[in-house]
Structure 1
Amino acid sequence: MSLFWRIFALNAVVLGGATALLLWAPVTVSVPVVLTEAVILVAGLVVMLVANAALLRIGLAPLDRLTRLMTTVDLLRPGQRLPEGRRSETAELIRTFNAMLGRLEHERATSSARILLAQEAERRRIAQELHDEVGQSMTAILLSLKRAADEADGPLRDELQQAQEITRGSLDEVRRLVRRLRPGVLEDLGLISGLTSLTTEFATHAGLRVLRRFDTDLPALDAETELVLYRVAQEALTNAARHAEAGQVEVSLHHTDGAVVLSVVDDGRGTGIAREGAGIRGMRERALLIGATLDVTSQPPAGTQVRLTVPLLRKQP
Structure 2
Amino acid sequence: MDRPARGLGLFRRHTRTPAGALFRRIFLINGLVFTLGTLVLAVSPATVSARVRLTEVPVLLIGLAVILAANAVLLRTSLAPLDALIASMRRVDPLRRGERVDSPPNGDLAHLIDTFNAMVERLESERTAASASALAAQEGERRRIARELHDEIGQSLTVALLSMKRVIDRAPAEMADDLHGVQETVRGCLDEVRGIARRLRPDVLEDLGLHSALAALCGEVTAAGLEVTRDIDRQLPRLSPDVELVCYRVAQEGLTNIVRHAGARQVHIGLHARDDHLVLRVRDDGRGGVIREGAGIRGMRERALLIDAVLSIESPPGHGTVLRLAIPRNDFESRP
Category of TM-score, reference length = shorter chain = 0.7 to 0.9
1:47, distance to aligned residue in structure 2 (A): 9.1
Query: In 1, Cα distance between the equivalents of 2:237 and 2:243?
Result: 12
- What 5-or-longer segments of structure 2 have no aligned partner? 1-19
**What TM-score does the superposition give when structure 1 sets the normalisation length?**
0.84
- Of stretches 39-48 and 218-227 in structure 1, the one that deviates more from structure 2 is 39-48
Instruction: Find the counterpart in structure 1 of residue 17 from structure 2.
Output: none
Q: Rate the CA distance shift 1:151–1:42 in 2: closer, same or farther, 3 A.
A: farther
Match of 1:195 among 210, 214, 223: 214
Do structure 1's residue 308 and structure 2's residue 325 form an aligned pair?
A: yes
Q: Rate the CA distance shift 1:280–1:41 in 2: closer, same or farther, 3 A.
A: farther
Work out whether residues 209 and 238 of structure 2, in 8 Å CA contact, stay in contact via their aligned partners in 1: no
Instruction: Find the counterpart in structure 2 of residue 214 from structure 1.
Output: 232
Do structure 1's residue 152 and structure 2's residue 163 form an aligned pair?
A: no
**Equivalences for 1:60-99 in 2 at 5 Å?**
60-78=79-97, 80-99=99-118
1:54, distance to aligned residue in structure 2 (A): 6.3
1:129, distance to aligned residue in structure 2 (A): 0.5
1:38, distance to aligned residue in structure 2 (A): 11
Percent of aligned pairs sharing the same letter? 54
Instruction: Find the counterpart in structure 2 of residue 108 from structure 1.
Output: 127
- Of stretches 152-161 and 128-137 in structure 1, the one that deviates more from structure 2 is 152-161
**Number of positions where the alignment pairs a residue of Structure 1 with one of Structure 2:** 313
Query: In 1, Cα distance between the equivalents of 2:27 and 2:134?
Result: 51
Query: In 2, Cα distance between the equivalents of 1:290 and 1:275?
Result: 24
Match of 1:270 among 263, 288, 292: 288
Query: In 1, Cα distance between the equivalents of 2:215 and 2:197?
Result: 17
Query: In 2, Cα distance between the equivalents of 1:169 and 1:198?
Result: 20
Match of 2:305 among 269, 288, 291: 288
Instruction: Find the counterpart in structure 2 of residue 162 from structure 1.
Output: 181
Amino acid at match of 2:185: I
Work out whether residues 274 and 296 of structure 1, in 8 Å CA contact, stay in contact via their aligned partners in 2: no
Instruction: Find the counterpart in structure 2 of residue 242 from structure 1.
Output: 260
1:78, distance to aligned residue in structure 2 (A): 2.4
**What TM-score does the superposition give when structure 2 sets the normalisation length?**
0.79
1:111, distance to aligned residue in structure 2 (A): 2.0
Work out whether residues 274 and 297 of structure 1, in 8 Å CA contact, stay in contact via their aligned partners in 2: no
Query: In 2, Cα distance between the equivalents of 1:178 and 1:296?
Result: 29
Query: In 2, Cα distance between the equivalents of 1:227 and 1:51?
Result: 60
1:261, distance to aligned residue in structure 2 (A): 1.7
CA deviations over 1:193-240 (Å, ceiling 9, x no partner): 1111111012213x2111111111112312222111111110111122
Query: In 2, Cα distance between the equivalents of 1:143 and 1:258?
Result: 55
Work out whether residues 283 and 320 of structure 2, in 8 Å CA contact, stay in contact via their aligned partners in 1: yes
Match of 1:226 among 236, 244, 248: 244
Instruction: Find the counterpart in structure 2 of residue 297 from structure 1.
Output: 314
| TM-align CA RMSD | 3.3
Work out whether residues 92 and 98 of structure 2, in 8 Å CA contact, stay in contact via their aligned partners in 1: no
Query: In 2, Cα distance between the equivalents of 1:301 and 1:173?
Result: 33
Work out whether residues 254 and 262 of structure 1, in 8 Å CA contact, stay in contact via their aligned partners in 2: yes
Do structure 1's residue 204 and structure 2's residue 233 form an aligned pair?
A: no
Q: Rate the CA distance shift 1:48–1:301 in 2: closer, same or farther, 3 A.
A: farther
Query: In 2, Cα distance between the equivalents of 1:256 and 1:295?
Result: 16
Query: In 2, Cα distance between the equivalents of 1:217 and 1:306?
Result: 23
- Of stretches 69-78 and 1-10 in structure 1, the one that deviates more from structure 2 is 1-10
Work out whether residues 29 and 74 of structure 2, in 8 Å CA contact, stay in contact via their aligned partners in 1: yes
Instruction: Find the counterpart in structure 2 of residue 177 from structure 1.
Output: 196
Work out whether residues 246 and 268 of structure 1, in 8 Å CA contact, stay in contact via their aligned partners in 2: yes
1:232 aligns to what SS in structure 2? helix
1:75, distance to aligned residue in structure 2 (A): 4.0
Q: Rate the CA distance shift 1:223–1:41 in 2: closer, same or farther, 3 A.
A: same
1:164, distance to aligned residue in structure 2 (A): 1.7
Q: Rate the CA distance shift 1:152–1:17 in 2: closer, same or farther, 3 A.
A: same
